[in-house]
Amino acid sequence: MLRLNPEGYLRIPQADCFLASYAGGEANVAVSLSNYGENASFVTYVPDNPLGQSAINALRHWGVDTTWMMKGGERLGIYFLEKGASQRASRVLYDRKGSAVAKSSIQDYNWDLIFEGADWFHFTGITPALSDSLAQVCEDACKAAKKRGITISCDLNYRKNLWSKEKANSVMSTLVPYVDVLIANEEDAQDVFGIKAENTSLTDGVVDVEAYKDVAKQLKSRFGCHYIAITLRGSISASVNDWSGLLFDSKEFHQAKKYQIMLVDRVGGGDSFGGALIYALHSGYSSKEAIEFAVAASCLKQTIENDFNQVSVEEVQKLLAGDGSGRVQR
């Protein structure tokens, strides 16, 4: 979709122009994977007009295969981002109703062709939130992927501005049983499935890791996913966050190092975590190595403007080796 944001930290009512870029949960993941050298394809519908073509070009620029970015429908979804600072929170406004992808249906996707040669399928909870038909498309894709032995990952990504908790619970309870690798942030399990982390106050920036271990166990027990990954964000302010993550591999828990980030653009941080985790698991990293890589990669992304992650494996490994000084590289 199209992302529009005022320059710097201007509020939307102050803006007399907006900066344009392209984004989307699964698109962000595809760009991350392409940056790491994976062959990533993005499946969607965009309108047959210059905006739709610009969205295709944006993914092509980062090496993503756009064969299945199909054209149809009337409009490209838009979101407006007002970046927060200090104690003022960032704000997102959606303008996605009636978008090309939201109006697509299961007849528009030939999964036999789309999944040819594929070994991993990723979707987020944002896609089925856009329309009932897209929820059916996601279920059809999961069934087709499972039939072919393709690994399935899902980021719950609950968005209150797109659907209710009750609708999210109903739809995602149908989809998550297909999922091998489930990704969530601190609030998703509670918002979607009513699984609450005790002794945790996100408003106060207090994150109890033991409580999230219990959340992961409950998700595993209910849905049977092989891996449960949870990002752990301590929101000190809109400008400074603590950042870590937890991975449950059905046997052990693995917690990553915690980083303190001076945020440049936190939107897309969760997607960069998902993309890095997929890359690491797909590349044969151990569970501990995978969660460390995912957290370090997403830490770096949140220092980069716009949604797309633009860091390399080498840059992530450098941070993992302990070089977080930020000194100029000459």
Question: At residue 158, what is the residue type?
Answer: Y
Is the predicted pLDDT of residue 327 greater than 90, yes or no? no
Specify the pLDDT at position 329. 74
Q: How far apart are CA 320 and CA 309, in angstroms?
A: 17
Task: Indicate if the pLDDT at residue 202 is higher than 90.
Answer: no
Find, among 177, 77, 163, 166, the residue nearest to 128 by Cα. 163
Average pLDDT, the chain: 95
Q: Where are the beta strands (DSSP E) in 126-186?
A: 151-155, 181-184
pLDDT of residue 124: 98
Which residues in 212-237 are b (16+ Cβ under 10 Å) and which e?
bbebbebbbeebebebbbbbbbbbee
Is 142 inside any structural domain? no
Contact indicator for 261, 240 with CB cutoff of 8 Å: yes
> Quick check: is 74 in a domain?
yes
pLDDT over 70 (residue 152): yes
* Residue 71 structural domain: 1-34+45-104
At residue 93, the pLDDT reads 94
Q: Terminus-to-terminus CA distance in the chain, angstroms?
A: 36
**Does residue 309 form part of some domain?**
no
User: Is the pLDDT at 275 greater than 80, yes or no?
Assistant: yes
Percent of the chain with pLDDT over 70: 97
Within a domain: 145: no
Q: Which two tokens stand for residue 253?
A: 């828990």
pLDDT at 248 over 90: yes
Nearest one of 231, 193, 227, 192 to 212, comparing CA atoms: 231
CATH code of 70's domain: 3.40.1190.30
Q: pLDDT tens digit string along 216-235? A: 999 999 999 999 999 999 99
Identify whether 69 is part of a domain. yes
Percent with pLDDT over 90 in the chain: 92
Whether residue 7 lies inside any domain: the answer is yes
Q: Residue 45 pLDDT more than 70?
A: yes
Domain count, the chain: 1
- Residue-level pLDDT at 310: 93
User: Which residues have a Cβ under 8 Å from the Cβ of 46 and sit 6 or more positions away?
Assistant: 52, 53, 55, 56, 69, 70, 71, 73, 76, 100, 101
How would residue 63 be classed by pLDDT, with cut points 50, 70 and 90?
Answer: very high
Residue 28 lies in a domain: yes
pLDDT at residue 330 is higher than 70: no
